A and B are shown apart, each in its own frame.
Chain A
Amino acid sequence: DGGITQSPKYLFRKEGQNVTLSCEQNLNHDAMYWYRQDPGQGLRLIYYSQIVNDFQKGDIAEGYSVSREKKESFPLTVTSAQKNPTAFYLCASSFSSLYGYTFGSGTRLTVV
């Protein structure tokens, strides 16, 4: 079955460490997105990529980095520069701007 997979589901990070969240899709979608969601709040766009080897900053990119070396993969690194990284992170992909997004099941990151 086609879909979008995020891993791990839960992640714990010590202060000062970088961590990388995985996002893989086998839907043959061109565009991929990373969102952050805080408890009881909406979605905020971190980074997005409309094509391989290209990505753009979203609304809250500071403290995060991404790469898009393959169409199927769009990993997100939460760096030590992100001062408040504890949140639920969602990855999504879309075939084109004419359609909506397919979301992964999310990664819950906690700083300990």
Chain B
Amino acid sequence: GESVGLHLPTLSVQEGDNSIINCAYSNSASDYFIWYKQESGKGPQFIIDIRSNMDKRQGQRVTVLLNKTVKHLSLQIAATQPGDSAVYFCAEPAGNNRKLIWGLGTSLAVNP
């Protein structure tokens, strides 16, 4: 969904554990999804993307899963490190102009 000024949900994990960050979308025709990481005071950075013809895509320590049946997207981070502490956003291009629609974001806090 689109950010409307609500405060971010927070996920707190222990260093070394796996993290799972979730995102729901509403448009069953959505064909492309992107995850971004935003560290404090910086602009968002691309992490990984996935197209709707895939169910899973893996990167370095990150995996994105797409469940089109329930319109759900998740980002899994393996062996979470303190440097993973950030806000994570999912986004999808939508509308005729395909500008990105942003999820609310999830704040990930990694405890040492």
Q: Report which A residues bind B (CB closer than 8 A).
A: 6, 33, 38, 40-45, 48, 50, 56, 59, 88, 90, 92, 97-98, 100-106, 108
Where chain B touches its partner, the secondary structure class is loop
* B residues with CB within 8 A of A: 2-8, 32, 34, 36, 41-46, 49, 89, 91, 93, 97-100, 102-105, 107
- Do A42 and B8 touch across chains, with their CB atoms under 8 A apart? yes
Report which of B6, B41, B93 forms a contact with A106, defined as CB distance below 8 A.
Answer: B41
Q: Identify the interface centre among A43, A103, A105: most chain B CB within 10 Å of its CB.
A: A43
The smallest beta-carbon distance between B105 and chain A, in angstroms, is 5
Q: Which of A45, A48, A100 contacts B46 (CB 8 A)?
A: A100
Residues on A with C-beta less than 8 A from B8 are 40-42
Contacts of A43 in B (CB 8 A): 3, 44, 89, 102
Q: Kindly state the separation between the CA atoms of A100 and B91 in the bound complex, as whole angstroms.
A: 9
For the complex, give the distance between the alpha carbons of A88 and B42 in Å. 9
Given A43-B102, A97-B93, A100-B49, the answer on whether A90 and B44 have CB atoms closer than 8 Å is yes
Cα of A92 to Cα of B5 in the assembled complex, Å: 20
Say whether B49 contacts A42, CB under 8 Å.
no
- 15 CB-based A-B contacts, threshold 8 Å: A33-B100, A40-B7, A41-B3, A41-B7, A42-B5, A42-B6, A56-B97, A88-B41, A90-B44, A100-B34, A100-B49, A100-B100, A101-B46, A105-B42, A106-B42
Nearest CB in chain B to that of A101: its residue:
B100
